[in-house]
A and B are shown apart, each in its own frame.
Chain A
Amino acid sequence: MMPFAYSKPDSIEQAVQQAGPDARFIAGGTNLLDLMKENVERPARVIDITGLPLREVRTTANGGLQIGALVSNAELAWHLDVEARYPLLSQAILAGASPQLRNMASTGGNLLQRTRCHYFYDAAVPCNKRAPGSGCPARDGLNRQHAILGASEHCVAVHPSDMCVALAALEARVLVHGRQGEREIPFADFHRLPGATPERDNCLAEDELIVAIALPPPPFVACSHYLKLRDRASYAFALVSVAAGLVVADDNSIAGLRVALGGVAHKPWRDVGLERSMLGRPATRESYAAFADALLRDARPLAHNAFKITLAKNAIIRALTQAQAAEEHP
């Protein structure tokens, strides 16, 4: 690791004042330190935010939940309110990383973890995300793990988070604090597609600190399921994952449907218009299959990842079927 200067601000204002192009915030450190050891990140200054008062989980006036940015992944997954009212979020978090890492990793850091693309991690090779303009070896290289949706000629990396896939389905909002004050970002607008500027994973400004995540009241409780498919049963990143939520009316028609995909794009993938078009259709396997086909209709595979298209479609059908079964047999 390259040497760096260290500071530990006592207040959010101080932390935001200290931010800058040569600095990085550190929370759990599980992603930043990993990247610093690989020389992918080389900050001159590291700002330790673990002294800030951002560790609270509380119910909001509208019946939602507000989660402080420093709440650990383990604490959040096992929080009583989260287990009872947002089981989709619990399941997604527990499907990620290892128990040790979940004890360390923070809510804010999880949103900002970088891609696990091998070329991004290898400082000796080109990568548009790491060194803008240098090229993308993944396009014609080893791209089994890479994107099938929303990629660009400049970058085919995927966002690796499990938690974020659930947050996309739950329509969370990201509360940030910068030198200009506070703002709230809808989850769908937080992460971005690579386009011509893949070095930017999200819309956060350099001086902005994530202070909390706000969840609206749960749109579905029992009727949800997180399905993660990977190369081994545990402690591996997703090849494809699905966060599915369903509301079924008394006549067995679809009264609400949300599906977010992980492992397939530069951000959790949703199509809200398509979800809406399913309302009123029968809650059956046939409807889920039609939805899956439509959601993947624009998928463009690379040389080694065409299997992800079939995998994603089948995963959607299975996740929705299991979400429905979860409601019928809680």
Chain B
Amino acid sequence: MSDVPSAPNTHAIGLYINGEQHHLQVPPWLTLLDLLRDELDLVGTKKGCDHGQCGACTVLRNGRRVNACLTLAIMCDGDELTTIEGLAHGDRLHPLQQAFIAHDAFQCGYCTPGQICSAVGMAREGRARSRAQIQEAMSGNLCRCGAYSNIVAAVEEALPQMGGPRP
């Protein structure tokens, strides 16, 4: 089977992003990260390494935290996505956003959207409780500024306020 089937270059997909429905035409090789940032101007989600190594691109796909840089947009057809832009309710910040401010849990802020989305996913998994467990469960998110101790403190504080099935 060496002849490439004459497939169209773009495919129609539907995504629910932060509660809003989007009908899009995407080429198969477009990553979810590039779709969010370059096509939809949702630039809160960051590109650090583009190889699954840093966690800056973490978003929630059907409620689970994933690396958007290693996800093809076309494979998300029909899925529900939450990015950092979708966590606050109007002017009311998500408990984690509030806790990050209270604990000064960043310096440059580049890793922060990924850290927060990752912590929302972690809370839904319901596995991490102790400080050591939080550290391990947040190890997929690197912080080049080394704000780790404040990040863990913020997550620890916000965790009890994040009950319930939805972020």
Q: Tell me the A residues contacting B by CB distance below 8 Å.
A: 1-7, 18-23, 26, 28-30, 33-34, 37, 44-46, 48, 50, 74, 78, 97-101, 103-104, 233-235
Contacts and interface: CB of A to CB of B under 8 A. Distances in A.
A7 B1 contact: no
Given A37-B50, A99-B118, A20 B2 contact: yes
Contacts of A6: 7, 11, 28, 74
A30 B52 contact: yes
B4 A45 contact: yes
Contacts of B72: 26, 29, 33
30 contacts: A3-B28, A4-B28, A5-B5, A5-B7, A6-B74, A18-B1, A20-B1, A21-B1, A26-B72, A26-B75, A28-B70, A29-B72, A29-B75, A45-B4, A48-B74, A74-B64, A98-B52, A99-B118, A99-B121, A99-B139, A100-B118, A100-B121, A103-B64, A103-B65, A103-B66, A104-B67, A233-B139, A234-B136, A235-B139, A235-B140
Contacts of B28: 3-6, 46
Given A22-B1, A98-B139, A30 B55 contact: no
Nearest to A236: B139
> Which 8 pairs, one residue from A and one from B, show the smallest C-beta to C-beta distance?
A98-B140, A20-B1, A6-B28, A234-B139, A5-B7, A1-B29, A103-B64, A235-B139
Interface in B38-94: 50-52, 55, 58, 64-67, 70-72, 74-75
Given A1-B29, A2-B29, A6-B74, A100 B136 contact: no
B52 A34 contact: yes
Contacts of A19: 1
Interface in B109-141: 118, 121-122, 125, 127, 135-137, 139-141
A109 to B, nearest CB: 11
B139 to A, nearest CB: 4
Nearest to B64: A103
Interface residues of B, number: 36
Contacts of B146: none
A74 B56 CA distance: 20
Contacts of A98: 52, 55, 139-141
Interface in B1-31: 1-2, 4-5, 7, 9, 11, 27-29, 31
Nearest to B26: A6
Nearest to A94: B136
A23 B118 contact: no
B118 A48 contact: no
A99 B140 contact: yes
A4 B29 contact: yes
A3 B29 contact: yes
A101 B61 CA distance: 12
B2 A21 contact: yes
Contacts of B51: 34, 37
Contact of B67 (A2, A26, A101, A233): A101
Nearest to B138: A99
A4 B27 CA distance: 9
Given A4-B29, A7-B7, A30-B67, A99 B2 contact: no
B1 A23 contact: yes
Q: Which of A19, A33, A45, A99 has most B Cβ within 10 Å?
A: A99
A20 B1 CA distance: 6
Given A18-B1, A20-B1, A78-B127, A100 B31 contact: no
Nearest to A103: B64
A49 B1 CA distance: 18
Contact of A33 (B2, B70, B136, B141): B70
A26 B75 CA distance: 10
